[in-house]
Amino acid sequence: MDIRIDTKVTAHLSLSFACQKENGRVLTGTFPANITGTMQYGDNLEALAVSLNTVGMMGIKRTHDILSAVSGIPISAGTICSMVKSCAEKFTDTVEQIRTTVISLPLAHFYETGTCVDKKTYWFHNASNEDFTYLTVEEKRGTIGMNSSGVLPDFQGIVVHDCWKFYWSYEAVIHAICCAHLLRELIGVSENHPEQLWADKMKKLLLRMKKVRDKAVDSDKGNLNYYYLNGFYTKYDIIIKESREQNPIKKKQVGKRGR
């Protein structure tokens, strides 16, 4: 199986002539409403350029290089940038609808990750559940960036996050720590400090809790029974106690600076 890319060029000509019945007045034909420039690009090419740059996460210059090489079309980087901007403007209402929907969710996941913009570090701020994802790019990572992103300041449900300190500044929400991050931390403790046996025990307990919970959800059960809940609470407290005994918080010495 193979593909073939054909470049189709459609020329629109306008005829002008001096009308004898109009005392020589020059009459000129009109172009179709969608023809607005001496050279422009069709919907298919525009959709491909936008898809490569956004869905494909391909830079403007690389998108220009590939389209020019594959199709032989002299499309400029500036034109591609304008295509992406024009497409984004069409979805302004949709993006706002996603933002307001995420704000109203009873539970949402929040995260931030760095990206390079004009050789500077900016931050993607994510707010999502299994159906909706709201992303913004902000100059700051902490509370300033979170507020600018426009979800957390008005959110009142359960916030699932990675335990980063800035999330705790939002007091009108219920906080939940991401289990994937907890498991990552516990694996790190087990690998770097094998004498800390509690970490592996806690990892196995969390995975067991998730397995039982998923099974209950699949069975349309609203709550776990007393047998499971009591067993999980008891094992959790025992492991936490063991971890604190092995890692007591150091008391600050009077008159000594530092953490």
Average pLDDT over residues 13-42: 89
What Å distances lie between residue 226 and 209, 233, 234, CA to CA?
14, 10, 12
**Per-residue pLDDT tens digits for 101-146:** 999 999 999 999 998 888 899 999 999 999 999 999 999 999 999 9
Residue located via tokens 């694996």: 187
Look at residue 229 and tell me whether its pLDDT is greater than 90: yes
Strands 25-28 and 120-128 turn out to be unpaired
Average pLDDT over residues 41-69: 91
Burial 20-41, CB ≥16 within 10 A → b, else e: eeeeeeeeeeeeeeeeeeeeeb
Which pLDDT score, from 0 to 100, does residue 175 have?
97
Look at residue 162 and tell me whether its pLDDT is greater than 90: yes
Average pLDDT over residues 184-204: 95
**Spatial separation of the C-alpha atoms in residues 141 and 220, rounded to whole Å:** 39
Let me know if 16 is exposed, middle or buried by CB neighbors in 10 A (0-12, 13-18, 19+).
Answer: exposed
User: Is 173 within 8 Å of 157 (Cβ atoms)?
Assistant: yes
Average pLDDT over residues 34-51: 89
Contacts of 65 (CB under 8 A, 6+ apart): none
pTM: 0.72
What is the rounded average pLDDT for all residues in the chain?
92
Name the residue type at position 220.
Answer: D
Q: What residues does each domain of the chain span?
A: 38-90, 93-177, 179-246
Phi, psi at 19, each rounded to 5°: -85, 120
Look at residue 212 and tell me whether its pLDDT is greater than 80: yes
User: Is 16 within 8 Å of 27 (Cβ atoms)?
Assistant: yes
Average pLDDT over residues 34-52: 89
Burial 124-158, CB ≥16 within 10 A → b, else e: bbbbbbeeeebebebeebeeebbbebbbbeebebe
Look at residue 71 and tell me whether its pLDDT is greater than 90: no
Which pLDDT score, from 0 to 100, does residue 259 have?
60
Which pLDDT score, from 0 to 100, does residue 258 have?
67
Task: List, edge to edge, every strand of the sheet that includes 174-177.
Answer: 133-138, 120-128, 107-117, 158-161, 174-177
Tokens matching residue 255: 């008159």
Look at residue 252 and tell me whether its pLDDT is greater than 90: no
